Amino acid sequence: MFTLRKKEPPIDYVRLPEHIAIIMDGNGRWAKSRGLPRQAGHAAGCETFRRIGTYARDIGIKYLTVYAFSTENWKRPPDEVNTIMRLFLDYLNEALEKMVRDNIALHVLGDISVLTPELIEMIRKMEDLSKTIKDGLCASLCINYGGRTEILQAAKRFAKDLSEGTCRPEDLDETLFSSYLYTASLPEPDLIIRSGGEMRISNFLLWQGAYSEFYFSDVLWPDFDVKELNRAIASYQKRSRRFGGV
């Protein structure tokens, strides 16, 4: 008796999506299924992000954006939130030493003002170092991020500029509004992947994902590997992106 393994489909490395975004879901369920605390799932998920980020860089993906901690995740138990924040700090500290060597620029998207001073300082250092990396993978961690909050804050920033006379109401179009978002320097995601078996976007890249292709995977994030990423890319490459046209 043997189990058939899911075959890995071939992908076209010439037609890769420029920007892949991932909702990393399933850490807690992965840990629970193994009788481990949820914190162990988050630690395993962090390792998965390292592997996927390295592989994305190696095959030529230009932008990788991951949903690391949402504005709603503060509702979780304090010990779990504290563990996640420590993991962020440890990961960024390690990344700071390897970014130039690995040719990966790291950015954080979201409202970082509520994070600890130590984490904010680490993010500032990381952003400064990222400016020196010109041709590698641009990886973005969405921390304290929510799509609705992002849009509201963008509207408030535009209203402020309007009141100060630096722009006019008739200037507002999609391009200008996009410049007020956290993702102003990024292209819109071509492919949004969600792991963990859920089929919703959970307040992630609401504006930017208007014409993204979606891939929903049953694989829990700690078990998500390069083969599953290739399946997502292969699925993307089979689709016809018409953006409302014929």
In contact, 147 and 72? CB cutoff 8 Å: no
126: Cβ contacts below 8 Å, ≥ 6 apart: 92, 95, 96, 99, 106, 107, 108
27 in active site: no
Report strand pairing: 104-109 vs 191-194: unpaired
| Angle, alpha carbons 149-151-154 (nearest 5°) | 105
25 in active site: yes
Greatest alpha-carbon pair distance for the chain in Å reads 74
Which residue in 12, 27, 58, 73 is the catalytic one? 73
Alpha-carbon distance of 131 to 125, in angstroms, equals 10
Which residue in 12, 25, 79, 82 is the catalytic one? 25
Residue (of 150, 151, 153) closest to 142 by Cα position:
150
Query: What angle, rounded to 10 degrees, do the helices at 226-237 and 38-59 form?
Result: 60
| Angle, alpha carbons 60-69-133 (nearest 5°) | 35
Q: Which two tokens stand for residue 142?
A: 């969405």
| Angle, alpha carbons 38-40-41 (nearest 5°) | 65
Place of tokens 């950015």: 107
Alpha-carbon distance of 177 to 175, in angstroms, equals 6
Active site residues: 25, 73
